[in-house]
Structure 1
Amino acid sequence: MKRNIAIVWGGYSSEAVISAKSMAGIYSFLDKERYNVYKVKIVKEGWTVDADGQIYPVDKNDFSFMHPILSVKVKFDFAYITIHGTPGEDGRLQGFFDMIDIPYSTCGMMASALTMNKFICNNFLKNFGVTVADSLYLNKDTKYSTKEIADRLGFPMFVKPNTGGSSFATTKVKSIEQLEEAIETSFKETSDVIIESYIGGTEVTCGSYKTKNKEVVFPLTEVVTSNDFFDYKAKYEGEVEEITPARISEEMTQRIQSLTSKIYDLVGAKGIIRADFIIKGKTPYLLEVNTTPGMTQTSFVPQQVAAAGLNITEVLTEIIENEF
């Protein structure tokens, strides 16, 4: 009997538009001969499922829906979470699924909450020898001085939503006159902000997943863009060159792959993660850990899966079956 797989997408942040793209990618990748695949949209207005082109409400009590045409109750066996941002990337949805005993694709509640908070995660990993950029943390109650921030971090610097993605409300600040506006822009996206010193170098990203029987670390992708940084236009409107495998030494490649595997274990990850780095000189600086990476047809992870000689459908099947 086929398992019922819910691709859970949407979310409460600006990144819902990216989640929609990832949902379409995952839907195209999953094995329809093996699974009944449904698209479950979670937004503030409610939870709904697309079944045969019709939209029905989802029962949150047991993660199911009543199919009125077939007159049967369909209970989902597994959630493939592809919400970028809250509530699918910060642990809230994972806690819900834990409570009703539904297996899912991503990290658990604690690992998701940790990795979603860039400032806390990077400082946690720094204790284990992972090199990260110097940074400051602000919440909406923090009294801050733009001069003190400038003196501490120098220019340019990055201002980002601390508990959101880096596609929206992220600014590369080049002067003190831009700083306050950049901070307020990030506050419109989330209630806290991280400000990081700029690290110039080669940007790369590395995906990984582990199951009960294997550990896989993918080839690295090098990210080259003429934009100020890898923003929404670079990620999703083609203003970037993505080179897999990255044009770096074998020694540095192995070092970053080993570091990605170490980070996977340190944060208690599950499913597919992606770790982003800047290589400055001979030092890789961790930018962030992404536990629900983009999964469009052209996203980094599918590129890396192909470069590794693997089949994306088989990889996702492994991740699902690992939970049973």
Structure 2
Amino acid sequence: MKRVAVIGGGQNGEHDVSLASAASVAAALDVTAYDVVALTIESNGTWRDRGGRPIGLSGAACVLRSCDVVFPVVHGPRGEDGTLAALCELAGLPYVGSGVGAGALAMDKWATKLVANALGIATAPGHLVTRATAAHERWTHPVVVKPVAAGSSLGVSLVAESDALPAALDAALALDTRALVEDVVLGREIDVAVLRRADGSLFVPPALEIVTDGLFDHEQKYGGHADFRVPAPLGGVDAKALLDAAAATYDALSCSGVARVDFFLTDDGPVLNEVNTVPGMTEHSQVPRMFAAAGMSYADLLDELVRGAL
């Protein structure tokens, strides 16, 4: 029986979301095949064992070294950005998901745009703003302001008038040293999941559409009001364009395991929004829903990820 360490929590605004994902993963892993060891990183950085006892990083390292594989489910900075992958690499432990470089690149929305543009994949026109340059930023048309490296739509604002721009920049820069100011893209919100199977092949299940009135913000994501439609109603041309763009982006970033690639589908084709290398992983999150639509159960998806890591 393989021993699997499932890590949840983290030191960022997605802490509670990560706890839900990790608890769901730990509960769904096949108990006949895996001995699951839960570890939690508190918001203050304290590591706790499955009994809730504080054990510190050194104690966590001892637990991790007793495991065959690590399943990190920490979303956002100090987790998804390659941090936990680096810890596993240094400890010589196999782990589920993308490596250090892929996690860092995908977490950086500006770097992801550069990679996509080099592939010929459209992204929203935009530019970087820092605390030093924010005072000189001028509003000329509706824009979306977001932190460069954050998730769960935290710090994201739709700015429809000039008076709202300073507050939007403050909100984004409170979570990161850089903010991204992008033109508003009018299109359908489509998510595509990409999985590298244990045999090395790529599997892309049916896409999912998020039907929303306005900005798909943190409240809509986690308030129980999101309208997810899977399979997304797509024509053959659009479906192929989205699949090809998602797979090309996944490969160019050197992703592993499963990633969620988010697009706007416009009249001119797909526009890449962002890439999530540690997407939400409760059974009702977008990624498991897409694989369920392809006939792969939640437990089978988790098993595929663990076997791929091993």
TM range (shorter): over 0.9
Using the alignment, how far apart are the partners of 2:57 and 2:77 within structure 1? 20
- For residues 183-262 of structure 1, the aligned pairs below 5 Å read 183-213=169-199, 214-226=201-213, 228-262=214-248
Give the structure 2 partner of residue 294 of structure 1. 280
Tell me how far apart the structure 1 counterparts of residues 172 and 27 of structure 2 sit (CA, whole Å).
33
Match of 1:48 in 2: 48
**CA–CA separation in structure 1 for the residues paired with 2:284 and 2:152:** 18
Stretch moving more, 272-281 or 306-315: 306-315
Q: Measure the CA separation in 2 of the matches of 1:294 and 1:143.
A: 32
Partner residue, 1:68: none
Mapped partners of 2:120, 2:58: distance in 1:
42
Instruction: Supply the distance in 2 between the matched residues of 1:299 and 1:42 (Cα, whole angstroms).
Output: 21
TM-aligned CA deviation for residue 261 of structure 1: 1.0
- Deviations 1:97-124 (Å, cap 9, x if unpaired)? 1011011111110111101000111112
Residue of 26, 48, 67 corresponding to 1:76 = 67
Judging changes above 3 Å, is the alpha-carbon distance between structure 1 residues 55 and 119 closer, same or farther for their aligned structure 2 residues? same
Match for 1:108 among 69, 82, 99? 99
Residue number in structure 2 paired with 1:70:
none
- SS of 1:276's equivalent in the other structure is strand
Contact 2:192/2:208 (8 A) holds in 1: yes
Q: Structure 1 length as normaliser, TM-score? A: 0.90
Per-residue CA deviations over 1:269-318 (Å, capped at 9, x if unaligned) read: 00100000001103110000010000122111111111001122122212
Contact 1:12 1:87 (8 Å CA) reproduced: yes
Question: Aligned to 1:136, what secondary structure does the other structure show?
Answer: strand
Per-residue CA deviations over 1:10-49 (Å, capped at 9, x if unaligned) read 1111111111111122123211111111221123332111
The structural deviation recorded for 1:139 is 2.4
**Cα root mean square deviation, aligned:** 1.8
**Given that residues 38 and 49 in structure 2 are in contact (C-alpha distance below 8 angstroms), is that contact kept between their aligned partners in structure 1?**
yes
Q: 1:254 to 1:298 in 2, by over 3 A?
A: same
How many aligned positions are there? 308
Cα shift readout 1:225-283 (whole Å, capped 9, x = no counterpart): 23x31111211112221000001212211221121111111000001000000011031
> Structure 1 residue 99 and structure 2 residue 97: aligned?
no
Name the CA distance, whole Å, in 2 between partners of 1:182 and 1:217.
Answer: 35
CA drift of 1:7 comes to 1.2
Q: Which residue of 1 aligns with 2:263?
A: 277
Does structure 1 residue 321 correspond to structure 2 residue 307?
Answer: yes
- Superposition deviation, residue 58 in structure 1: 5.2
Answer yes or no: is 1:138 the counterpart of 2:158: no
Q: Distance in 2 between matches of 1:59 and 1:173?
A: 41
Runs of 4+ residues over 4 Å off in structure 1: none
Higher-strand-fraction structure: 1
Provide the rounded CA distance (Å) in 1 between the counterparts of 2:73 and 2:52: 21
What percentage of aligned pairs have identical amino acids?
27
Cα pair distance change 1:261/1:45, threshold 3 Å: closer
SS across alignment from 1:270: coil
The normalised TM-score by structure 2 is 0.94
Aligned to 1:5: 4
Secondary structure of the equivalent of 1:322? Answer: helix
**Alignment check: 8 A CA contact 1:146 1:176 kept:** no
CA contact (8 A) 2:198 2:307 kept: no
Unaligned 5+ segments in structure 2 are none
Paired residue secondary structure (1:102):
coil
Per the alignment, do residues 74 and 113 of structure 1 end up closer, same or farther by CA in structure 2, a change over 3 Å counting? closer
User: Are the aligned partners of 1:62 and 1:75 in contact in 2 as well (CA < 8 Å)?
Assistant: no
Structure 1 residue 167: Cα displacement: 2.2
Q: 1:141: how far off?
A: 3.0
Give 2:261's aligned amino acid.
A
Give the C-alpha shift of residue 94 in structure 1: 1.1
- Partner SS state of residue 25, structure 1: helix
1:121 corresponds to 2:119: no
Aligned partners of 1:28 and 1:282: how far apart in 2?
43
SS of equivalent residue, structure 2 residue 309:
coil
Tell which deviates more after alignment, 194-203 or 28-37: 28-37
